[in-house]
Amino acid sequence: MLTHAFTYIQAHMITIGMVQQKGGVGKTVIATNLATSFQKRGYEVALVDADPQGSARDWAAKAENPPMTVGVDRPVVHKQLPKLKGFDIAIVDGPGKLERMTVSIIKASDLCLIPVQPAAIDLWAVGTVIDHIQTRQDLTEGRPQARFVISRAITGSTLTGSIEEVLDEAPFGRLSAGTYQRVAYTRAVGNGEGVVSGNDSKAAAEINAITDELESILKLKTHA
């Protein structure tokens, strides 16, 4: 159940769900940084931690001005999210394995982001997630939308280009923007911060570029 009560009034809230059946792909890094990026642009943001590890909640506990952060401890995200009022965007950080919680997040989402590291093992792990998203799309006339996002790439690696080619052949599109392996991301998660407000301009540019693409895909009104 949700661990925070809400009394705001709000029209349709856009939900972005982070889904993958493999752990360690950077879901929490992207989720927390997108939450701070959208918040900085003037959106009212809810960060929903649906991962039993509670990393997003730990991040929020250290932050000075985090987005409203709630925990969902059972696979009822699709039932509980409509109760959130007064928010423009909800970012849902999912678990690192395929389970009922992941299916619930897919049901709740307007857009699923599927982080993939430039490694063959990450590609092998996305097949079942794709199947679940496509099954949901068949039932709901195409909702949710879905995009891959390359996470934790290594600068100069030829493997990144190979992964991009494979993803371009996948059922869903991929974001042009992605993240690279940078100390700034690890530091930001540990300190309850977002890289868009930090000193690493390259990391900030990566998150801003992802945010720009999501605004365009979801046809969001730019608040900046």
Walk along the chain (224 residues) in steps of 10 and give the mean pLDDT of each run. 38 89 84 97 97 94 95 94 94 86 96 88 78 95 94 77 77 93 95 96 98 95 56
- Quote the tokens at residue 44: 């009212």
Please name the residues in contact with 214: beta carbons below 8 A apart, sequence gap of 6 or more: 16, 34, 111, 175, 220
The strand pairing partners of 68, in sequence order, are 46
Q: What is the pLDDT of residue 159?
A: 63
Please tell me whether residue 16 adopts helix, strand or coil conformation. Answer: strand
Contact 34/9 with Cβ under 8 angstroms? Answer: no
Please tell me whether residue 28 adopts helix, strand or coil conformation. Answer: helix
Contact 224/212 with Cβ under 8 angstroms? Answer: no
Q: What is the pLDDT of residue 165?
A: 77
Q: What is the pLDDT of residue 8?
A: 34
Domains, the chain: 14-217 (3.40.50.300)
Q: How many CB atoms lie within 10 A of CB 37?
A: 24
Name residue, tokens 């932050």: 63
Tens of pLDDT along 9-28?
Answer: 335 899 999 998 777 788 99
> 106, 94, 102: which is closest to 47 by C-alpha?
94
Whole-number Å distance between alpha carbons of 12 and 3? 21
